[in-house]
Amino acid sequence: MDVISEPVDGRGEWCDAAPHEPVGAGVRPLLPGDDPFYRPPAGYERAEPGTVLRSRDVQLAFLGLIPQRFTATQLLYRTTDMANNAQTTVTTVLAPAERTEPCPIVSYQCAIDAVAGRCFPSYALRRRAKAAGALAQIELLLIAAVLAEGWAVSVPDHGGPHGVFGAPFEPGHYVLDGLRAALNFEPLQLSSTAPIGLWGYSGGGLATAWAAEMYDGYAPELNVVAAVLGSPVGDLGNTYHRLNGKFFAGLPVMVVVALTHTYPEFRAVIEQHLTAEGKATFEKLPRMTTAHAVVRLAKTDMATMLTRPLDEVLDLPEVRHVFDNIRLGTAAPKMPVLIVQAVHDRIISVSDIDQLAQTYALGGTDVTYHRDRFCEHILLHPLSAPMSLRWLRDRFQGRPLDERRARTTWPTLLNPSTYRGMARLAVVSGKVIAGRGVERRPLSQLDE
C-alpha cells in the first residue's frame, strides 16, 4: 500500500474519507516499522485528536496460528504525545455481531511491556504474526471474553509508534483517542452515548490508570463510566528497585530503554555511563518480545551495565526527575475505579497500590479496592476477570456501587463466583483456541 496524503482544511478536519483496506487473505503481516499502514499521511498534524487517518480489516489469530472467525478493524488515528505534539498510533477494534444498543465499549489495554513492534497488539494479535513471547497473544482470551459480553472492544497500541513503555501521560492520550477514533469510524456504528469502560492489568493497568487520570482534562466528552486498574504499577521508580537483580529484572531494563527515547537528558546520562556490554544489551532489547527479554535478562543487575555505581546514577537529577515524573497519582479519576492487587505480588509492591488507592480516594475518586490476600501477580489476572467483568457490567447498567464492598480482601481463590465465572471463561477460551468463534453468552452474569 502506498502512503496516501489527504487534504486537511483550515479547521483541522479531515476532508476526504480515510482510505480503507479489506482483509488481505493469506498475507503475512509486516512489522509496524515496515508497514506503510502505520505511516501518517501528510498534514495529519492539523487533524483533530481521534481523527481516523486510515483503516483496514484484519484477521486475528490465537498465538498468530489459530484464525478466529471474527474480523477486526484497525484504525490509524491522530493523537497527542507527552509534549502535546501530534502523534499517531493504531487501535484494533472488535464489534459483536449480536448486541444491544447503544453497545457498551471497553478499551482493553494489553500488557505490552516491551519496546519491540512485534509486541504491539495491532501486530501480535494478527494471523501469521511472528510474536512468540508477546503478552497480547495470550490476552486475546480476555479480549474475546469482553466480546462475548456483547460489548465492543478497542485494543490500542498504547505505547505509541515507538513503544514508550513506562512513559507518563501519553498512554492515556493514546487510549482515549483510540476510543474517539472508534466512535468516529462510521462503519462500526458505535454510539457516542454508549457507556465506556477501561480495563488493563500490569503494564496494561498502568496505561489504563493514565487514561483514567487524563480523562477529565483531555477527553471529557467521552462517556467513560468505569475503569478497572489491575495491578497498575503505581510507582515505576520503586518497581525498578524492587525488580533489579531479580527474576523479572528484564522489565525495568526495558523501561529504562524506552524512557531514553522520551527524555533526552536521561538518555544522555544513561549512554554516558553504559559499559560496552550494557550498550550491546540496550541495542538488542528493541527486537525482543516481553518473554524473551525476561528470560534473557533474568536476575541481571543493572549495576553491571554501568561504569559508575548504580546508586550514584540513580541519584543524578536527570534520573530522579524521570522517576518522579512517571509516578501515577497526578490527578484523581472522575469515574469509579476498581483496583485489583495481590498482596503477595513479586512484581508490583502492594504498598505502592495501597498508596495509589488512598491518593485517588482523597482526591474524590469512588474507589473499590480488591486487595487479594492469597494470589500472586500472574494468577490474579485471570482469576479476577469474572469480578472485573461483573463490575464493568454493573457500571454500564447504572447500578449503585456497593459501599460494603469498597475494600475487599477475601481471596478470589476462595470465592465460589470466581469458579462459576472461570468455567465460562474456559468455554470462551476453548472456542478461541479451537478457532470456533465467540457467541454472545455473558461471563459476568454467571457470577450473580
pLDDT on residue 441 = 58
pLDDT on residue 23 = 79
Specify the CATH number for the domain of residue 316.
1.10.260.130
Assigned C-alpha cell, 139: 490476552
Length of the chain: 448
pLDDT on residue 442 = 61
pLDDT on residue 440 = 63
pLDDT on residue 20 = 86
Residue ranges, the chain, pLDDT below 70: 1-17, 25, 439-448
Asked whether residue 46 is domain-assigned, the answer is yes
Assigned C-alpha cell, 282: 540496550
Collapsing DSSP to helix, strand or coil, 26 comes out as: coil
Does residue 243 share a domain with residue 222? no
Identify the H or E element spanning 66. Answer: strand 66-80
pLDDT on residue 445 = 56
Asked whether residue 10 is domain-assigned, the answer is no
Collapsing DSSP to helix, strand or coil, 346 comes out as: coil
Q: Can you tell me the distance from the alpha carbon of 147 to that of 447, in angstroms, rounded to the nearest whole number?
A: 17
Does residue 256 share a domain with residue 203? no
Range of the domain at 227: 20-235+327-447
Q: Which of 166, 171, 165, 141 is nearest to 153 (CA)?
A: 141
Does residue 182 share a domain with residue 33? yes
pLDDT on residue 4 = 41
Asked whether residue 133 is domain-assigned, the answer is yes
Does residue 247 share a domain with residue 365? no
Q: Can you tell me the distance from the alpha carbon of 397 to that of 106, in angstroms, rounded to the nearest whole number?
A: 14
Which segments within 240-399 are labelled E, that is strand?
337-342, 367-372
- Virtual torsion, Cα 35, 41, 47, 48, nearest 10 deg: 0
Asked whether residue 15 is domain-assigned, the answer is no
Indicate the residue among 292, 325, 358 that finishes a domain. Answer: 325
Assigned C-alpha cell, 35: 508497514
Asked whether residue 148 is domain-assigned, the answer is yes
Does residue 358 share a domain with residue 218? yes
Terminal CA-CA length for the chain: 49
Q: Can you tell me the distance from the alpha carbon of 440 to that of 206, in angstroms, rounded to the nearest whole number?
A: 29
Does residue 343 share a domain with residue 299? no
My answer on whether omega of the bond before 102 falls inside 30° of 0, hence cis, is yes
Cell 470466581, located at residue: 418
Asked whether residue 9 is domain-assigned, the answer is no
- Give the chain's domain count: 2
Does residue 357 share a domain with residue 279? no
Indicate the residue among 280, 295, 325 that finishes a domain. Answer: 325
pLDDT on residue 406 = 77
Give tens-digit pLDDT for 164-219: 999 999 999 999 999 999 999 999 999 999 999 999 999 999 999 999 999 999 99
Does residue 119 share a domain with residue 83? yes
pLDDT on residue 443 = 55
Query: Which amino acid is present at 75?
Result: L
Q: Can you tell me the distance from the alpha carbon of 220 to that of 200, in angstroms, rounded to the nearest whole number?
A: 20
Does residue 68 share a domain with residue 165? yes
Specify the CATH number for the domain of residue 428.
3.40.50.1820
Indicate the residue among 325, 360, 375 that finishes a domain. Answer: 325
Does residue 379 share a domain with residue 429? yes
Does residue 395 share a domain with residue 260? no
pLDDT on residue 407 = 83
Asked whether residue 7 is domain-assigned, the answer is no
Q: Can you tell me the distance from the alpha carbon of 153 to that of 27, in angstroms, rounded to the nearest whole number?
A: 24
pLDDT on residue 11 = 40
Does residue 434 share a domain with residue 288? no
Asked whether residue 404 is domain-assigned, the answer is yes
